[in-house]
Amino acid sequence: MSKLVSVDVVIFGGGIAGLWALARLRQAGYAAILLETKTLGGLQTIAAQGIIHGGAKYALTGSASDATQAIGDMPQRWRACLAGEGELDLSRVRVLSQHQYLWSTESIGSRMTGFFASKLMRSRMAAVEGVDRPKLLQSTAFKGNVYRLEEPVLDVPSLVAELVRQQGDACFQIEPDAVQLDAAQPGCVKIATSAGSVSIQAQQLVLAAGAGNESLLKQLDRETPQMQRRPLHMLMARGPLPLLYAHCLGASANPRLTITSYPLAEGEIVWHLGGQVAESGVASDEKEHIAAGQAELAALLPWLDLTDIHWATRRIDRAEIATPGGKRPDSWLVHSERDVITAWPTKLAFAPCLAADVLHCLEQDGVRPSGDGTVSIDLPCAPLAQPPWNEVKRWS
């Protein structure tokens, strides 16, 4: 038996883009629901390092790029939310660190990169010395420079959990092949269930499903916007590690290494390792990649004892708007065409901008809120994603 439900907006995808957009739409009075095929927090969001970038790492070549300009106001915007004074109340979200750091090695290239970054971003970063540095970089063996960035680092599982606490009643799980879309009538969404089917009539669709946007656009016979995948091979180190939230500067615009830390309940620390090491390790298998990560830490932090550290890796496909040459997009993407809004946030930090653009598109298309945002639908609630370190079957 088929049941018909009318809503204003259907959002596909339960990552940060979909969850933030859902919160803003319901806040504005739209009757909106979110559909997710796997777990809330998705694949990319839950694996993010939680850094709310303010553009400093994109200024490492000494010139302000489009990415630098686009992301510059994000820390302030997020801090307002974390204080319960912004567009969303995220005062329950755990902040792992109020700051992150850049450090440079003794190499000329790194020192010059750090100099240009500090000159360009002087209002957002400051050189720090002695006890003001992270404990690991207070070693007498360390000979480089350290800069503090006014950019917080969030506990991403906590962020996802809080958004779901607020909006979970409108987040539903569907089977991957259960959705049937109509290219001629995009607002007609049919979902197969074990008890029959659910038909949803929406004024607008929002595709915020990351890599899943590709198949949804195909169902709708849309050739644009086109998507690209940029793979990463992240490293995780687990054990008696110190807390560190920092980028190591290289000679290029991309940090040589990015480290964020997550304290576990049993007293251990997980280091999430990104940056150039995650990009260059895409072609490596797990064993090779772990060896490369160990060698990089030994080269950059030779005084760090890695004796009792366990290792794991995780592959991630970053899904985003296609760019010439497959380069990283400078900002988020929101594309509206014939009752369908397609969106990719590019970075966790851009979620508020993406949601604001979605709201603007709805207003421009004449889609008005129909009520208080409450929707009743006979579908199961979508579960929360697990942090990547909990998903690891085996640590080396």
Q: Quickly state the pLDDT bin for 384 (edges 50, 70, 90).
A: very high
Distances (CA, A) of 154 to 5, 88, 165, 181: 37, 15, 17, 36
Q: Do residues 313 and 233 share a domain?
A: yes
| pLDDT score at 43 | 87
Q: Do residues 221 and 255 share a domain?
A: no
Q: Quickly state the pLDDT bin for 71 (edges 50, 70, 90).
A: confident
Task: Single out the residue of 6, 396, 1, 388 nearest to residue 160, CA to CA.
Answer: 388
Q: Do residues 135 and 235 share a domain?
A: yes
74 within some domain: no
Task: Single out the residue of 191, 142, 176, 297 nearest to residue 235, CA to CA.
Answer: 297
Least confident of 145-149, 209-213, 342-346: 145-149
Least confident of 141-145, 164-168, 207-211: 141-145
| pLDDT score at 254 | 76
Give the CATH number, domain containing residue 198.
Answer: 3.50.50.60
93, 162 in Cβ contact below 8 A?
yes
Write down which residue in 264, 288, 318 finishes a domain. 318
3-state class percentages of the chain: helix first, strand second, coil last, to nearest 5: 30, 30, 40
Q: Is 23 helix (H, G, I), strand (E, B) or coil?
A: helix
Number of domains in the chain: 2
| pLDDT score at 194 | 84
Report the DSSP pairing between strands 179-181 and 188-193. Answer: antiparallel
pLDDT value at 314 more than 70: yes
238, 310 in Cβ contact below 8 A?
yes
Q: Do residues 9 and 137 share a domain?
A: no
| pLDDT score at 72 | 77
Give the CATH number, domain containing residue 128.
Answer: 3.30.9.10
Least confident of 107-116, 211-220, 273-282: 107-116
Average pLDDT over residues 91-107: 91
Q: Do residues 360 and 376 share a domain?
A: yes
290 within some domain: yes
Q: Which domain holds residue 275?
A: 97-151+229-318
For residue range 184-243, list pLDDT tens digits in order. 999 999 999 888 899 999 999 999 999 999 999 999 999 999 999 999 999 999 999 999
| pLDDT score at 66 | 55
Average pLDDT, the chain: 90
Q: Do residues 104 and 126 share a domain?
A: yes
pLDDT value at 81 more than 60: yes
Distances (CA, A) of 138 to 88, 132, 144, 308: 37, 9, 10, 22
Q: Do residues 139 and 213 share a domain?
A: no
Average pLDDT over residues 363-385: 88
Rounded distance between C-alpha atoms, residue 247 and residue 291, angstroms: 20
Distances (CA, A) of 150 to 52, 74, 153, 156, 304: 9, 11, 10, 18, 26
Rounded distance between C-alpha atoms, residue 103 and residue 154, angstroms: 20
Average pLDDT over residues 81-93: 98
Chain centroid to Cα 83, Å, comes to 20
Task: Single out the residue of 44, 352, 324, 368 nearest to residue 209, CA to CA.
Answer: 44
371 phi and psi, to 5 degrees?
180, -140
Average pLDDT over residues 178-187: 95
Average pLDDT over residues 160-186: 96
Task: Single out the residue of 125, 233, 121, 221 nearest to residue 181, CA to CA.
Answer: 221
For residue range 202-212, list pLDDT tens digits in order. 999 999 999 99
pLDDT value at 126 more than 80: yes
Write down which residue in 264, 295, 318 finishes a domain. 318
Average pLDDT over residues 60-86: 77
pTM across the whole model: 0.93
Helix axes 351-364, 74-82, angle to 10 degrees: 90
Exposed/middle/buried for residue 143 (C-beta within 10 Å: 0-12, 13-18, 19+): exposed
H or E segment to which residue 118 belongs: helix 108-120
Q: Give Cβ neighbours of residue 2 (< 8 Å, ≥ 6 apart).
A: 190, 196, 197, 198, 199
Task: Single out the residue of 208, 194, 187 nearest to residue 6, CA to CA.
Answer: 187
55 within some domain: no
pLDDT value at 153 more than 60: yes
Q: Quickly state the pLDDT bin for 252 (edges 50, 70, 90).
A: low
244 within some domain: yes
| pLDDT score at 266 | 84
| Farthest CA pair distance, the chain | 72
pLDDT value at 69 more than 90: no
Query: What six digits make up the tokens of 147?
Result: 């800069």
For residue range 318-337, list pLDDT tens digits in order. 999 999 998 889 889 999 99
Token look-up 């510059």 returns: 72
51 within some domain: no
